[in-house]
Amino acid sequence: MRKRRSRSGSRAFSGFSARVAARIALFGLLGAGLAYLAFANAFSNVTHRGNPRLALRFTPDDPVALTGLAAIRIARDQNLRDPAITALARQSLTELAINPAALRLIGLMASADGGLPAGRRAMLLADRMSRRDTATQLWLIEEAVARNDIPGALQRYDNALRVAGETQQVLFPVLTAALEDPQISDSFIPYIREPTPWLGDFVRHAVRNSRRPAAYAALFMRAGGLPRDPVFASLEQELIKRLIDTDASATAARYYGSLQGADRRVLRSAAFSDRSVDTRFVPLTWEIFTLPGLNAAFVRSGSDALALQGLVEAGGATPVARKVVLVPAGTYRFRARQGLIGQGGTAEATWQLLCSGGNSAQPVWSRTDPLVAQRRAVEASLNVPARCYTPMLRLLVTATGSSAEFTIQSVSLEPAA
């Protein structure tokens, strides 16, 4: 019995051992296969974008590597009608159904053969799957523009700029030029009234780079103004300066009048007042230059009137302040009260009238007087010529030998009697 048990036990054990050995061998093979697959998958994940050919050696059906290889091929101009590109994209789409990159490639190839309408269906499917594919959005912008669908194109701009900030360098210059046309810019008004996240960056680019800043002032007024936010407040100031620099003074005046806190009386006045020294609207209001060797500010004098006081280092004529005074052509009386603070220093003040906001503008009138400790009134007659589109008063102070501290007050420009 024991022997039979031993034999049967041996047979049972040997059978068990064989089954276990076979299972262990099977699991070993599976494990090795799974390990290889895991390695291949991990390797593909690393290489399928950077080196799709290498990734496909390990995983021939990797959908990302397939689209990556197709993208490499389509980047070569001579391959724009290569059927292998579409084949790779379709294979990728078979492996991964939610695959906007593959659909985009299919759409691009269809467009190369049959024009933009031929690729539209594939591109719209890609867009439905993901709005984060920048290349798809760029294609859809071009296709919408070709159909003269301005609202549709702007929607695609919005999509692209929301998901990929780096597209600003490509899209902002094109959009800036396009929105100079009122027929196009009216469709942009909703993106101002309900500010899109990239509006601040775009307005900054447009204000600084547009060849027609007056078109943007008109757009912002039609939209009811820019959002009430400190970021946009600084851009309003930049826009006013650009309008003056380009001699669009009439537009600058209208734009200023649309802003909160504006006072239209300031536009024709040279006087120092709380409204006329508001730095938000320079140089329609008084602007103090920020220059080395100059330190100046508006302060309250003993009579509670405002005075411009400053310290200027010795040297050449230093621009101190300027203000646009939008008066019509004619003869005017200029007045100011000015002098030195203290006994030290030798200096003189020069008042000028310019007819342009550009940096190269030459004065059409100039008056220079010494600054002395006994403050004195100066008065002069000046003529604002016809076609003086941007009349501007500018003050320069010249200190000789040493620095000089000065004060200016009671400035006015009134029509001659």
Total number of domains in the chain:
2
Amino acid at 377: A
Q: Are residues 297 and 256 located together in one domain of the fold?
A: no
Instruction: Name the H helices within 51-167.
Output: 52-58, 63-74, 83-95, 100-114, 116-129, 134-146, 150-163
In a domain, 23, yes or no: no
* Per-residue pLDDT reduced to its tens digit, 41-79: 333 333 445 556 555 555 666 666 667 666 666 666 555
In a domain, 28, yes or no: no
Q: Are residues 207 and 96 located together in one domain of the fold?
A: yes
150 CB-side CA count, 13 A: 13
Token pair for residue 220? 């912002």
Q: Are residues 288 and 380 located together in one domain of the fold?
A: yes
What pTM did the predictor assign?
0.77
The predicted structure's pLDDT at residue 14? 38
In a domain, 14, yes or no: no
Q: Are residues 228 and 329 located together in one domain of the fold?
A: no
Token pair for residue 94? 């078979």
In a domain, 217, yes or no: yes
Q: From the centroid of its chain, how far is CA 206?
A: 7
Range of the domain at 388: 279-415
Instruction: Name the H helices within 223-306.
Output: 230-245, 249-257
* Per-residue pLDDT reduced to its tens digit, 394-413: 999 999 989 999 999 999 99
Q: Are residues 258 and 284 located together in one domain of the fold?
A: no
In a domain, 24, yes or no: no
Q: What are the start-end ranges of the E strands in 249-293?
A: 287-288
CATH number for the domain including 69?
1.25.40
The predicted structure's pLDDT at residue 98? 78
**Domain boundary residue among 234, 265, 296?**
265
The predicted structure's pLDDT at residue 281? 97
Angle, CA 328 vertex, CA 325 and CA 333 arms, to 5°: 70
The residue to which tokens 């084949």 are assigned: 87
Are 216 and 225 spatial neighbours (Cβ–Cβ below 8 Å)? no
Q: Are residues 134 and 170 located together in one domain of the fold?
A: yes
In a domain, 19, yes or no: no
Q: Are residues 286 and 235 located together in one domain of the fold?
A: no
CATH number for the domain including 347?
2.60.120.260
Query: Helices (H) and strands (E) in the chain — how many of each?
Result: 15, 10
**Domain boundary residue among 265, 299, 334?**
265
Q: Are residues 254 and 300 located together in one domain of the fold?
A: no
In a domain, 27, yes or no: no
The predicted structure's pLDDT at residue 266? 97
Which residues in the chain land under pLDDT 70? Answer: 1-66, 68-81, 95, 302, 344
The predicted structure's pLDDT at residue 269? 97
Amino acid at 78: Q
In a domain, 368, yes or no: yes
The predicted structure's pLDDT at residue 23? 35
| CA–CA dist 184, 206 (Å, integer) | 15
Are 56 and 69 spatial neighbours (Cβ–Cβ below 8 Å)? yes
Q: Would the CA dihedral through 186, 192, 194, 199 be positive or negative?
A: positive
**Domain boundary residue among 220, 239, 265?**
265
Token pair for residue 138? 């760029």
Q: Are residues 213 and 295 located together in one domain of the fold?
A: no
Q: Are residues 371 and 403 located together in one domain of the fold?
A: yes
